[in-house]
Amino acid sequence: MGHSHSHTHLHASTKDRNLMVSIFLNIVITVAQIIGGLISGSLSLLSDALHNFSDVLSLIVSYAASKLSRQKASINRTFGFKRAEILAAFVNAITLVVVAILLIIEAIKRFKAPQEIESNLVIWLSLIAIAANGFSVLLLKGDSEKNINIRSAYLHLLTDMLASVAVLVGGLLMKYYQLFWVDSVLTFLIALYLIWVGYDLLKTSTKMLMLFTPDHINIKDVVRAVNKLPKVSKLHHVHIWNLSDHELHLEAHLDLNEDISTTEFNELLHEIEELLHHKFEINHVTIQPEFNKKDPKEVIVQD
């Protein structure tokens, strides 16, 4: 147990350090791009700066949520702050979509009246942004596959790196072909991509906040598996939800076909826990045993 706790603590501190490095890099990029966008007149550079600024906010939210999620539970907060990271992902997803809508509005205005842009500044600043965001993306990639909060921060940074690539291409086209309308088109495309990424994250985090059954779980399969066990009549009143990325809970009533002792039920409960953990990755089980109780036996009941 001691080794496991030490490993978890080390992993958490590494995750927080990576977030702090990413926050610092994005603050530097944002300031540079705002100044560069105002001097050069590039809307795509300013839109990239705005996106970077949303990155800074999202990374700060992610960092705070990561810290909070490790706070101990208490009498008033029996789950602690384990759902803070899901809430952070939800907030970050909304900011992605809102920023995208603002960029689309501005891009349409600018497309109708293209302006000459200082392309050299656009090219150099986009190169710096690509390098800094690319480094941040590499830092967070590993944790993004295991944590929805870090995934939201990772997606912010990844989309911003791709946006900077688009800005670079636009800068080159403006420099060598004087195609200044490209600036607005690229801004519009960046915004559409932000909406696509943000919507997917918003949908996932909303499902988790609403305690919906995770997409990979089929409740009927769970019920069928438990009902095959000896002494079980029917599993019903079933609820399955994610408390956090790493905690999948099941709460249900279990109708028994025998009036068994508490010791026998404990043995059966252990069997159920092992089955649900290995077959469905459910790691927290709460079962209410029943025998000849008069109540609805449907799998799903609105309590």
pLDDT of 8: 44
- Where along the chain do the CATH 1.20.1510.10 domains lie? 2-209
CATH of domain 219-290: 3.30.70.1350
10-residue averages of pLDDT along the chain (303 residues): 40 74 86 84 74 76 78 85 84 83 82 76 87 88 79 80 82 85 81 83 91 94 96 96 89 95 96 96 95 90 75
Name residue 270's beta-bridge partners: none
Looking at residue 277, what is its pLDDT? 96
d(CA 46, CA 179): 18
Question: Looking at this protein, which amino acid is placed at residue 287?
Answer: I
List pLDDT tens digits, range 255-290: 999 999 999 999 999 999 999 999 999 999 999 999
- Helix or strand holding residue 238 (H, E): strand 232-244
2-209 has CATH 3.30.200.210 classification: no
> What residues does CATH 3.30.70.1350 cover in the chain?
219-290
Look at residue 102 in the predicted model and tell me its pLDDT: 81
The pLDDT of residue 228 is 96
H-run or E-run covering 289: strand 284-290
Identify the pLDDT of residue 4. Answer: 39
Q: Which residues contact 134 (CB under 8 A, 6 or more apart)?
A: 161
Residues 14-29 pLDDT 10s: 777 888 888 888 888 8
With residue 253 as reference, give the H or E element that holds it. strand 247-256
Structure tokens at 49: 């700066």
Which region holds residue 77: left if phi is over 0, alpha if psi is between -120 and 50, else beta? beta
